[in-house]
Amino acid sequence: MNRLDALFKKKQKNILSLFFTAGYPDLQSTAEIIRAAEEAGADMIEAGMPFSDPVADGKTIQHSSEEALKNGINMNLYFEQVREGGKSIQQPVLFMGYFNQVLQYGPEKFCHACNDAGIDGFIIPDLPPDIFIREYRDIFHGAGLRSVFLITPDTTEERIHQLDDLATGFLYMVSSRSITGSRESFDASQEEYFKRVSSMNLKNPLIAGFGISNHATFATACQYAAGAIAGSGYIKALEKSRDIRVTTREFVTSLLSPEHI
């Protein structure tokens, strides 16, 4: 069974997904991060393949991407490392990256490599739904990969329903009009938006992302969504880390429990 399907079957609330940049802080960190995330209690893992021109990302992920590329990460290494880290865990692992990398790798070959590495689904923010439907849906869905689409506070209700029909994994509920990056709290209009979308009776689970960096933001998002994704906050923690396992455990604990600083 696809591990993403299995996860949503088992758990409908407080799902924590961790995003990290493959090849950062060190070229060989990927497998260790995946195992540490599992051990720390993350429910889902998004392995980011860095891109030279990440237009949807803020400073933290721009920096980790740049460093990872300097470290020498590439697509083949990425798949090798994800296979190595993800082979014995129950948590779903997702590919996250920009479309040009997939296009150059070759969409069919990309799907095979994902299958081979045990990747359960993909998030490709700059592959828009109309082009996905026209050219790539059959290839990706045919390979059993679960698709994830982004929605934002400005996505119309009609379009949210279209994206919901199209997605086979979950809907990535982008918390604000912004690029990726940490925030301390959500304001009333963001909560209003979470609430509005959560009451739409969508077939896919909602997972919130962008600005999830502490217990307050995680808990607020989880009131309305099935779970939330932490990325930039986690990468910042890794940046200063001396021990990936310890850092990951501390970071996950800080999101899940209110007492933790």
Partner 1 sequence: MNKVTGEVDNNGFYGRFGGAYIPEMMYPNLKELENRYREITDSREFREEFTGLLRDYVGRPSPLYRAGRLSDYYNTNIFLKREDLNHTGAHKINNTVGQIILARHLGKKRIIAETGAGQHGVATATVCALTGTECVVYMGALDVARQQPNVERMKMLGATVVPVHSGNKTLKDATNEALRDWISNPCDTHYIIGSIVGPHPYPDIVTRFQSVISEEIKAQLEQHNGNPLPDAVIACVGGGSNAAGAFFHYLQHPEVELIAVEAAGHGVDSGESAATIALGRPGVLHGCLSVVMQDADGQITEPYSVSAGLDYPGIGPLFAHLHQKGRVNFQHATDREAMDAAFLLTQLEGIIPALESAHALAFLEKRKFTPDQTVVINLSGRGDKDMEAYLKYIKEHNGGKSHQ
Catalytic residues: 46, 57
CB of 151 to partner 1, least distance (A): 6
CB of 2 to partner 1, least distance (A): 24
Nearer to partner 1 (CB atom), residue 18 or residue 151: 151
Nearer to partner 1 (CB atom), residue 97 or residue 118: 97
Nearer to partner 1 (CB atom), residue 62 or residue 220: 62
DSSP 144: T
Tokens read off for 22 = 């493959």
The sign of the dihedral angle between the CA atoms of 212, 168, 77, 109 is negative
Nearer to partner 1 (CB atom), residue 38 or residue 46: 46
Written as one string, the DSSP assignment of 49-90 is: PP-S--TT--HHHHHHHHHHHHHT--HHHHHHHHHHHHTT-S
Residues sharing a CB contact under 8 Å with residue 71, sequence separation 6 or more, in sequence order: 23, 24, 26, 27
Residue with tokens 């009776």: 201
The sign of the dihedral angle between the CA atoms of 48, 52, 58, 60 is positive
**How far, in Å, CA of 79 to CA of 17, rounded?**
19
Nearer to partner 1 (CB atom), residue 53 or residue 184: 53
CB of 114 to partner 1, least distance (A): 16
CB of 123 to partner 1, least distance (A): 10
CB of 223 to partner 1, least distance (A): 23
Q: List residues near partner 1 by CB under 8 A.
A: 51-58, 62, 66, 69, 74-75, 98-105, 125-128, 130-131, 149-152, 154-156, 159, 174, 177-179
The sign of the dihedral angle between the CA atoms of 192, 47, 14, 206 is positive
Nearest 5°: the CA angle 231, 95, 134 is 120
39, 53 in Cβ contact below 8 A?
Answer: no
